[in-house]
Amino acid sequence: MGLSVTRTGNTFVAEIGGVDLAQPLDEATVEAIRQAWWDNSILVFRGQNLTQEQHVAFSGHFGELQGHTVKDWLLPTHPEILVLSNRGRGGVKPLENGGAYWHSDITYQAVPPMGSILYGLTVPPEGGDTLYADMHAAYEALDEETKALIADRVAIHNYKHRYLLMAEGGRRPDPTPEQLAEWQDVEHPVVLVHPESGRKCLFVNEGFTVSIKGLEKEESDALLQRLCAHSVKPQFVYAHKWRPGDIVMWDNRSTMHCATPYDAEKYERTMHRTTIKGITGQRAAAA
Ligand code: SIN
């Protein structure tokens, strides 16, 4: 059976069938997946069974991989893999509430990742979904006044504020001086022109966007809060209910995501994530 691309009820999510990601993929198959990815932002593959090497090899088709600023969560044997596990599998410290707030990955770096590929190894039978927000649709649905207000605006992103919130709540160790030195402000446009499609999308998130440059704190906080609340309205959101063996790959430039709660005493939730560096314009380069 050949590769199939089936849109789900949402406008930005497709399920890909007819492909075993554990096998080496030919260039035509990789290109078909890449095309589906640009067309949909979120791709879902069901029933996969990958070794760590195969997860890394599949991810590597889409660009160079990167780790994470908190090295404790990287798999020692494969540091390209971030382990999100409440049981701390593979010699990695347990990580609860890893992505349990709306965010796009690593926007606190000057060049944020283009995408991530999350593999569900052990998933709870209830809860622990991942929600995804379509930031193209969210931008397009804004009223003209708001679009004019945010056009050409720049936002500041930083990891420090998010990490310290977690550390103060006792959910993270105190940051090291090296980490604090690394976590500097970076700037990104509030409205990103997607390098593959040319479509505009909102590029702010609750996790790491700390302010909008040039606005007073009160105004900046209120605008960020309004943009984030707007983006996660039900009509823009897809909820992925995990089954073991699922792989979800998302375009990090045009989506936000958020893990939902589950009973962490009762259930294990272990996910492996690879993250693809922010190379942009692959479609343009290929054309
Ligand atoms: C992440 O934020 O990258 C992981 C989300 C999840 O665990 O559902």
Residue having the nearest C-alpha atom to atom 4 of ligand 1: 99
Tell how far the Cα of 118 is from the centroid of ligand 1, in angstroms. 7
Tell how far the Cα of 1 is from the centroid of ligand 1, in angstroms. 31
- Between 286 and 76, name the one with better pLDDT: 76
Taking a C-beta distance cutoff of 8 angstroms, is the pair 203, 256 a contact? Answer: no
Residue 282, pLDDT score: 56
Residue 280, pLDDT score: 60
Query: For a substitution probing ligand 1, which of 96, 97, 106, 118 has the most ligand atoms within 8 Å of its CB?
Result: 118
Q: Active-site residue among 68, 162, 194, 257?
A: 257
Q: Give 287's pLDDT tier (boundaries 50, 70, 90).
A: very low
Tell how far the Cα of 167 is from the centroid of ligand 1, in angstroms. 19
- Residue-wise DSSP of 173-199: PPPPHHHHHH---EEEESEEEPTTT--
Q: How far apart are the first and last CA of the chain?
A: 28
CB distance 84 to ligand 1 below 6 Å: yes
Atom of ligand 1 nearest to the CA of 240: 8
Average pLDDT over residues 237-243: 98
CB distance 257 to ligand 1 below 6 Å: yes
Residue 281, pLDDT score: 57
User: Is 246 a residue whose pLDDT tops 70?
Assistant: yes
Reply yes or no on whether 152 is catalytic: no
Q: Give 286's pLDDT tier (boundaries 50, 70, 90).
A: very low
Residue 284, pLDDT score: 47
For residue 31, the number of C-alpha atoms closer than 13 Å in the C-beta half-sphere is: 6
CA-to-CA distance for 128 and 242, rounded, in angstroms? 8
| pTM summary value | 0.94
Q: Active-site residue among 103, 172, 194, 269?
A: 103
Reply yes or no on whether 257 is catalytic: yes
Average pLDDT over residues 27-42: 96
Reply yes or no on whether 105 is catalytic: yes
Reply yes or no on whether 68 is catalytic: no
pLDDT in tens, 130-182: 999 999 999 999 999 999 999 999 999 999 988 888 888 777 888 899 989 98
CB distance 55 to ligand 1 below 6 Å: no
- Between 241 and 286, name the one with better pLDDT: 241
**Percentage of the chain exceeding pLDDT 90:** 80
